[in-house]
Chains A and B, each alone.
Chain A
């Protein structure tokens, strides 16, 4: 059984968890726009936004260090572009790339960690996001772990017959064998998808997903979204003017 950290985090009962997903999505959108369009005093603005996100993480009862570390997953990707900008003689852009990518990832992580996936998908659906994309996201989340488990089983089977990462890298024929294993994994995933489709048809699926229950957007959710958005905008205005 897999230990799904995000799934566990998202099932909390804090004041942040209890907010309607649409309120969190609206606030997230404002956050991203405020951050993406900022150019002056970016370091100070980033520090302020980091403080807000950290406060949200603490209010949600999530481990701050764990969340901050997990958001760092984007850094290897953005660091490549930052390095290119740096080498091209634009260190300011390089720093901005790193700050913006990290804070964006952190904000998304906070939203995802405080909203169970079914509610998040429903919230996105009710805000007009394409249903087909949401269905793909839902299935990806559901079966990512199953596919990863199948990959682990194949890795163990290979290791039990003497394969190691070094031996695979050292020989073209072995590398070809590893590529073949990937193809098998793809074929298994395809087979799994066919089985799932059959199971859906067997229970009357006709092309559109229907889900249980509707979300309840309350006055407190509207207040949360309005106040948080206002705070973000005012913070940016104040920091830019101070600069």
Chain B
């Protein structure tokens, strides 16, 4: 079975000349959940923006067997659901329901069907009651759930979540973890939240200076790079 994502020797430099990715190789298999770890500025977010063509670098990026290029962008954006770090930027429509239906309407679906599918997605994330509300009236956790509903309606094969636990309080983090555990899609989690990565992911890759410096089980990777204190702190607090 071909991998869901296959990236070979991906390189990217921002317009101001700053190198962000210096030859990344990565594979994601069906059903996998992978954590992308690494310090700020190591290239994690830049990397995931390549997965649905929001950035284009040198090298090869394939999603579900399709090269990420202009002719395939629409198909690829249906397959890769990207949840941004700051939900405030992702929820731009006047009501929650309209925001969740945004991607479906762009796909050409009629308004009635889009509305029904959006309601079903809101129900999945436990936000059905908020359909008519304005996004800025929601709490950070609720916004994150609605943002996830917005990508779930597209029925993606891969969910990419950039810093999903940022702005969430502990109950919000727990609710998010429970929600994600029940979603069948393969997942890529960009995160600094080591306990969350440990709970959610089967393996981790560690970004350093725009390359993947190591890959393996989460605990092994965090120990190797001296990040195990995040896990130990959690054990101490117990």
Contacts and interface: CB of A to CB of B under 8 A. Distances in A.
Contact of A195 (B86, B102, B115, B134): B86
Contacts of A145: 136
Interface stretch (A167-175, A200-208, A235-243): A200-208
A202 B114 CA distance: 17
Given A142-B136, A199-B90, A206 B106 contact: yes
B150 A203 contact: yes
A145 B138 CA distance: 13
A130 B92 CA distance: 20
Secondary structure at chain A's binding surface: helix, strand, loop or mixed? helix
A231 B93 CA distance: 37
Interface stretch (A52-60, A91-99, A210-218): A210-218
A212 B105 contact: yes
B61 to A, nearest CB: 15
B174 to A, nearest CB: 22
> For chain B, which range describes its interface: under 10, 10 to 19, 20 to 34, or 35 or more residues?
35 or more
A203 B102 contact: yes
Contact of A118 (B98, B102, B114, B150): B98
Interface string A119-144: 00100000000000000001101110
Interface string B36-64: 00000000000001001010000000000
B88 A138 contact: no
Contacts of B89: 192, 195-196, 198-199
A112 interface: no
Given A192-B89, A210-B106, A212-B114, A203 B101 contact: no
B95 A118 contact: yes
A198 B84 contact: yes
Interface of B: 49, 52, 54, 74, 77-78, 80, 82, 84, 86, 88-90, 92-95, 97-98, 101-103, 105-107, 111, 114-115, 118, 134-137, 150-151, 154
5 contacts: A118-B98, A196-B92, A199-B82, A202-B84, A212-B101
